[in-house]
Structure 1
Amino acid sequence: MSANGTAPLISLTWTDQVTGHRGHLVIDRLVRGVSSGGLRMRAGCTLEEVTGLARGMTMKEALHYDPDARYIPLGGAKGGIDCDPHAPEAYGVLTRYLRAMRPYIEQFWTTGEDLGLTQDLVDKAAAEAGLVSSIQAVYPLLDDERAARQRLADAFAVEVDGIGLDELAGGCGVAEAVLATLDRAGTPYAGTRVALQGLGTMGGATARFLARAGLRIVAVADVKGTVANPGGLDVEALLRGRDAFGAMDRTALRPGDVELPPEAWLSADAEVLVPAAVSYCVTAANQARITARWIVEAANMPVVPKAEALLAARGITVLPDVVVNSGTNAWWWWTLFGDIGADADEAFAHIRRSMRALIDRMLARAAADGSTPRAAAHALVTDRLPEIAARYGSHR
């Protein structure tokens, strides 16, 4: 079902004739004829998963709607490929998927990196598939396409302390969501402990921003297990030593750092948990291990609905992915449409202002309605979608 309870506009499944791997595309909603949503690749990716992600993208676009901004909110969409991104055949599958989806990408669907894929890899495969760009469908909506494309290219070339601005934008938003929540609760940054699942693009950037704000990162999990230190991990050392998939170099660990099983991050003695890697990782079964006060969803759909209900009953607040991790998508469009330039300081300031305002609106609505933050986010979307449709039109 789409964000307003109706079926998605387009839902299809593709089968690779070479390997038998399957891929999915769901366009939940079009605004001005265009939708936005990344492409993920993971073993076990399902149509149901992609449908939920596409619905979430519709919400993210609506939540960042600003009638005074140049950025025009798009509809929501998502792509997914059921294939291990580490498999030798993965790149060929990706290229053939993009070639098969070329008519949609050319006209209706703007896409980019998501779980299991990097933007460089998507760009390379898109070129081989005959596409001008993975976001070319939005070009007709731009006032000056050449200037906009150059501005985005320049932004992607910006690095901050060795990490690309495009890799930092989303984590900046997640970190600001944490900080805004702590501020509303009157909780000081210093001494607040954080445990993360994932040190890839989103998790790594989130860890950096939170550590630099004075929070203590006490546990980080990757595919090999959990690394923990109650006194705080050396985030910068871990970032320098991670591989392209976010796996940490264990030779970089310090005395006092300990290696624990993969799920140990869930039960870490911390105030904040940040699942920043995979979907459906917090379940009804394992949520009982969590003692944190807040779970901040940097990944897409990491907390299953039944687990969220059980957590709420125990007084644990889940800040939903549709708000928390929306900074990456918004940064792309703010830059492309010209609300911000190719400058890290300007980008971070804009992300922080926007995310803080959005978190404040969501938590205020939740308090007023006596609801969860997720229900409040849905209510905000329900309020905004008719306004967007009235101004720009929509297609179902």
Structure 2
Amino acid sequence: MTTPTSPTAPTVSPAAPPAPLISLTWTDHVTGRQGHLVVDRLVRGVSSGGLRMRPGCTLDEVAGLARGMTMKEALHFDADDAQARYIPLGGAKGGIDCDPRDPEAYGVLVRYLRAVRPYIENVWTTGEDLGLTQDIVDRAAAEAGLVSSIQAVYPLLDDETAARQRLADAFAVEVDGIGLDELVGGCGVAESALAALDRAGVAYTEARVSVQGLGTMGGATARFLARAGLKVVAVADVKGTIANPAGLDVETLLAGRDAYGTVDRGALRDGDQELPADAWLTQEAEVLVPAAVSYAVDATNQARISARWIVEAANMPVLPEAEALLAERGITVLPDVVVNSGTNAWWWWTLFGDIGADAEEAFSHTRRSMRALIGRMLARAEADGSTPRAAAHALVAERLPVMAERFGWYR
């Protein structure tokens, strides 16, 4: 089902967002599993948002993520920066209700991509998200007959051949054994946390961190925070929580994880403890980083949290009612629409040529951009007497009409 909005649609309000431009559910004729696609908004005819695969993924979940992508793109739009080559796109998201470890998962992915191929060819640029790696997405996209998972953006490039080579070169860059594409998102999350600590006058060496998830985003975040001087006291994966109040050896844990972010327990040191899966929530730490799944913090388990900041590396990990209760207790949630927007932005900074295929250039640009975004959001929250999420929504509500006026609703 597609639901077009009027070219004269009203100003976007976070309280009452318009219906998405495209919303559809696909059913696999082989397994009966379902996949979803939501294009929330187009800018210059194109939208951006990853494809996730997890059991229980729903259309409502994908719609919320697509709206979040619209916000992330808008937050990186600077109407006054005439030098920027990357002009943010619209927001979209895809999701498949299937366990990525299921033997049938890859076939389901290929058939899903074949079914939504016209959208990827024309309006939806996508890539890895929860449960999928970019290598798997690329391989399945090729098998589905696609040129690329981001081919819809190619007509907007000044030099498509050079741009595609630049992005390919960037994906080939490794830093200490981990791909640059896996690191930039965590760099952005870490810089968001560091900016909040700086604003509060908290020394990095005095801050402890607990991370849920040691996959692409959580692992990179843990690495950057540890290297900045913070003490990572707990990490959680599907097997449980690994904790050490004296600090974990993050590099050893990263080296001992599998493709799904599960740590080999043989890598643990003396003093490292194995605790239940939800123990990451209750660790004595100043910063919690949920970097694994959506809806991890609810109205019940939030009462067990004593951290000062929750930094949302995952998409939608803190439920709204939980966030309201946390705010009442003086716990600040730095929202996903800002915190984890670095990976998406890095793709486009690189493809459009704002940065080259260089790790230090990527990290420097990411740190500068994320620190500026966090600063604007927290300053707005302070001025409005609101939460950081409400402040981020207010910034988006100001920028979307400017984007609509400049680029139109569809192209």
Q: Which amino acid is the alignment partner of residue 40 of structure 1?
A: R
Question: Given the alignment of the two structures, is residue 323 of structure 1 paired with residue 335 of structure 2, yes or no?
Answer: no
Question: Given the alignment of the two structures, is residue 46 of structure 1 paired with residue 61 of structure 2, yes or no?
Answer: no
Partner of 2:121: 106
Partner of 1:357: 372
Partner of 1:15: 27
Partner of 2:390: 375
Q: TM-score, normalised by structure 1?
A: 0.99
Partner of 1:344: 359
> 2:185–2:340: 8 Å Cα contact kept in structure 1?
yes
SS of equivalent to 2:260: coil
* Partner residue of 1:207 out of 195, 212, 222: 222
Question: Given the alignment of the two structures, is residue 150 of structure 1 paired with residue 195 of structure 2, yes or no?
Answer: no
- For these two proteins, the number of residue pairs brought into alignment is 396
Identity %: 82
Q: Supply the distance in 1 between the matched residues of 2:319 and 2:175 (Cα, whole angstroms).
A: 35
**Deviation of the 1:66 alpha carbon:** 2.4
Q: Supply the distance in 1 between the matched residues of 2:204 and 2:324 (Cα, whole angstroms).
A: 27
Partner of 2:283: 268
Q: Supply the distance in 2 between the matched residues of 1:394 and 1:139 (Cα, whole angstroms).
A: 19
Q: Supply the distance in 1 between the matched residues of 2:231 and 2:264 (Cα, whole angstroms).
A: 20
Quote the RMSD (CA, aligned, Å): 1.0
1:215-267 deviations in whole A, cap 9, x for unaligned? 00000000000000000000000000000000011001000000000000000
Q: Which amino acid is the alignment partner of residue 299 of structure 1?
A: A
SS of equivalent to 2:18: coil
Partner of 2:349: 334
Q: Supply the distance in 2 between the matched residues of 1:177 and 1:296 (Cα, whole angstroms).
A: 8
> 1:2–1:55: 8 Å Cα contact kept in structure 2?
no
Q: 4+ residue stretches of structure 1 with deviation over 3 A?
A: 1-4
SS of equivalent to 1:376: helix
Question: Given the alignment of the two structures, is residue 141 of structure 1 paired with residue 162 of structure 2, yes or no?
Answer: no
Partner of 2:197: 182
**Deviation of the 1:191 alpha carbon:** 2.3
Q: TM-score, normalised by structure 2?
A: 0.95
Unaligned runs of 5+ in 1: none
**Deviation of the 1:393 alpha carbon:** 1.6
Structure 2 counterparts to residues 157-306 of structure 1, below 5 A? 157-306=172-321
> 1:2–1:29: 8 Å Cα contact kept in structure 2?
no
1:319-359 deviations in whole A, cap 9, x for unaligned? 00000000000000000000000000000000000000000
Q: Which amino acid is the alignment partner of residue 169 of structure 1?
A: V
Q: Which amino acid is the alignment partner of residue 275 of structure 1?
A: P
287-296 vs 61-70, greater mean Cα deviation: 61-70
Partner of 2:87: 72
**Deviation of the 1:100 alpha carbon:** 0.2
Q: Supply the distance in 2 between the matched residues of 1:49 and 1:97 (Cα, whole angstroms).
A: 17
Q: Which amino acid is the alignment partner of residue 164 of structure 1?
A: G
Q: Supply the distance in 2 between the matched residues of 1:169 and 1:187 (Cα, whole angstroms).
A: 24
> 1:196–1:273: 8 Å Cα contact kept in structure 2?
yes
* Partner residue of 1:95 out of 71, 89, 110: 110
> 2:13–2:397: 8 Å Cα contact kept in structure 1?
no
Q: Supply the distance in 2 between the matched residues of 1:319 and 1:102 (Cα, whole angstroms).
A: 35
> 1:9–1:395: 8 Å Cα contact kept in structure 2?
no
* Partner residue of 2:98 out of 83, 103, 109: 83
